[in-house]
Chains A and B, each alone.
Chain A
Amino acid sequence: MSRHHGPDRSLRHAVRLARVLLSSQYALMLEFRAEIVLWALSGVLPLIMLGLWSGTGVASIPGFTPQRLVHYFLAAFVVRQFTIVWVIHAFEEDALQGRLSPALLQPLNPFWRYLAAHVSEQATRLPFVLAIVALVALVHPAALWWPTPAGLLLALLATHLAFLVRFVIQSALTMLCFWSERAAALERLLLIPYLFLSGLVAPLEAFPEPMRSFALNTPFPWMVWFPAQLLSGGTVPVARGFGVLAAWGLLFLPIAVLLWRAGLRRYSAMGA
């Protein structure tokens, strides 16, 4: 068995592992391409909200013209597609079906596999997202815009960071699967504030002031509204946005690690 010594070999090992995990998960995702089309279609909530808002409500959103609103919701749709996290559902099913045990017996934390699965799913989702955007542009040519290079770069960074933070927060909740066989129900509960406060149903500017202030103290708007505004050319506090996302991630990462260690002590390898 080859062992790894020194930072060079460790890095080489990590890069190879990442490459192999991503390619195998991508191959797996391609087996489910029809399902991924349906997932991509199921994320069109921002486009539905666009239809609702463009009727009457635009005038009441400060700083939003009808065209800006179209750009915002299209950007929110794209951001949403690349920040979807389902690790709690996958983990819960794996734990109940006894598939977690074989993964625990390997010298690799199973969450790296889940992370690779999410990234691969995003890669699989990309062409379908582009197709939906192209379709919207075909029907409504005014919906398209060219983001500035800086806006595009920041939006990309913010989207990836938002995804990672969501993954870390949901991973911390996932650890509750060690205590309850139905921990995913908690995630379903959190979906309600996520939907309303993230900016998926309306840009944060449409909220009354107390509501907006409250929302900005939660992680939710920074996961969709913040990157969507960056992408669509809106005005957002850039440094605060990245700072808040990093802070939520850094808060939940040690919680996830501690719960993981405590959870493993309770693990009874059910179903295995």
Chain B
Amino acid sequence: MPIIRAEGLSKTYRVADKQPGLLGTLRHFVARRSRDVPAVSEVSFAIEPGEIVGFLGPNGAGKTTTLKMLSGLIHPSAGTVEVAGCVPFRRQGRFLRQISLVMGQKQQLIWDLPPLDSLRVNAAVYGIEDAEAHRRIQELADMLELGDELTRPVRKLSLGERMKAELLAALLHRPAVLFLDEPTLGLDVNAQARVRRFLADINRRTGTTVLLTSHYMGDITALCPRVLLIHQGHLFFDGRLDALTERLTPCREVRLELAEPQPAAAFAPFGALESLEGRRVRLLIPQEQLTGAVARLLAMFAVLDLEVSEPPIEELIGRLFQQGVVG
């Protein structure tokens, strides 16, 4: 039986409509105008207990709005939603005790106090006895490699340390469902890897269901066997990540700094030229041609610097929609 079930879930926001300039400002002051903006349209999916599902889509696609509806923060405009046997927006205690939402750019920890103070409050809010809370904090801190960071004011922690402390706070009450909105945003590569390891570990040990949005393909590939792909509020893909990867032309981003500027045509044989600014070149090259293409690039041009990376997920998905592969 699914632990998360959404049927025809929709959300429309009413937003103020103001024209620029003094005239627009005066008009807006006298007679406010607003318009309806659909953020999520008839999204349906079901997630079984213990699954880790990646929620993909470009900025403004409706990922965060969906997470807010699933966690009960906002009311859907239409459709039905059920999480852990409850209707989220009713915000019953039984529901709130079974979920947690971690937002990469927002914190629940009290900014000016050490994380331990917030954890004490959380333990009291969720009715976890002191000894049990202490044991859980110790266990999660070990998994997250957190030590004296828990006794330093949150404002003095690095972004990575803060995110780990946030995860600890979010999991103290052992939620059945964990929603994560960009949990690795802004973290360095090592911190990203630690967070991914921790999430995989928690899922394996406790069977926590995880639904996460991320801009980093690394998060998705490391954690999510299944992905949901949303674009302009519509769900376009729901299935295994490898099935999606087959649809995406797997490619790598190659950034070059050349000794001499070259014409755009010179790069046509290697892949798609994304940008050319003086001596700086950005190419997208299919993965299976990468080794050969890089070798030829190095042989053909005087290269001062070369960097190979995954293209941003937004770009890949954008291409996907441009090519009409999905839909």
Are the C-beta atoms of B113 and A24 separated by less than 8 Å? Answer: yes
Q: Are B127 and A20 in contact (CB under 8 A)?
A: no
- CB contacts (< 8 Å) of A20 on chain B: these are 120-121, 123-124
Contact between chains at A2 and B103 (CB < 8 Å)? no
Cβ–Cβ < 8 Å partners of A16 in chain B: 124
B117 contacts A24, C-beta separation under 8 Å: yes
Interface string of A228-241 (1 = CB under 8 A from B): 00000000000000
- Whether A13 and B127, one on each chain, are in contact in the complex, defined by CB atoms closer than 8 angstroms, is yes
At the interface, yes or no: B303 with Cβ under 8 Å from chain A?
no
**With an 8 A cutoff between CB atoms, is A189 at the interface?**
no
Question: Within the assembled complex, what's the spacing in Å between the Cα atoms of A55 and B75?
Answer: 60
Residues of B with C-beta under 8 A to A56: none
Closest to A272 in B: B106
Query: B97 and A1: CB pair below 8 A?
Result: yes
Q: How far is the CB of A106 from chain B (nearest CB, A)?
A: 5
What A residues does B123 contact at CB under 8 A? 20
Q: Residue A157 at the B interface, CB < 8 A? A: no
CB-nearest residue of chain A relative to B122? A106
Instruction: Decide yes or no whether A41 CB sits under 8 A from chain B.
Output: no
B93 at interface by CB-CB < 8 Å: yes
Bitwise interface map of B from 63 to 74 toward A, beta carbon under 8 Å scored 1, else 0: 000001001111
Interface members, chain B 103-151 (any A CB < 8 Å): 103, 106-108, 110, 112-113, 117-118, 120-129, 132
Contact (A21, B121) CB under 8 Å given A98-B106, A105-B96, A105-B101 = yes
Contact A1 B127, beta carbon cutoff 8 Å: yes
Closest to B13 in A: A268
Is A269 in contact with B68, judged by CB distance below 8 angstroms? yes
Choose from B13, B74, B89, B129 the contact partner of A2 (Cβ within 8 Å). B129
Instruction: Write the A144-187 contact mask toward B (1 if CB under 8 angstroms, else 0).
Output: 00000000000000000000000000000000000000000000
A103–B106 alpha-carbon span in the complex (Å): 11
A101 cross-chain contacts in B, Cβ below 8 A: 68, 73, 101, 103, 106
A2 to B72, CA, bound (A): 23
B72 cross-chain contacts in A, Cβ below 8 A:
104-105
- Shortest distance from the beta carbon of A243 to any chain B beta carbon, whole Å: 35
Please give, as numbers and ranges, the residues of chain A lying within 8 Å of B125 by CB-CB distance. 17, 106-108
B residues 41-94 with Cβ under 8 Å of A?
68, 71-75, 89, 91, 93
Q: List 5 A-B contacts (CB under 8 A).
A: A105-B99, A105-B100, A105-B108, A107-B126, A264-B91
Q: Which residues of A contact B (CB under 8 A)?
A: 1-4, 13, 16-17, 19-21, 24, 27-28, 31-32, 98-99, 101-108, 264-265, 267-269, 272
Q: What residues of chain B have their CB less than 8 Å away from a CB belonging to chain A?
A: 13, 68, 71-75, 89, 91, 93, 96-97, 99-101, 103, 106-108, 110, 112-113, 117-118, 120-129, 132, 173-174
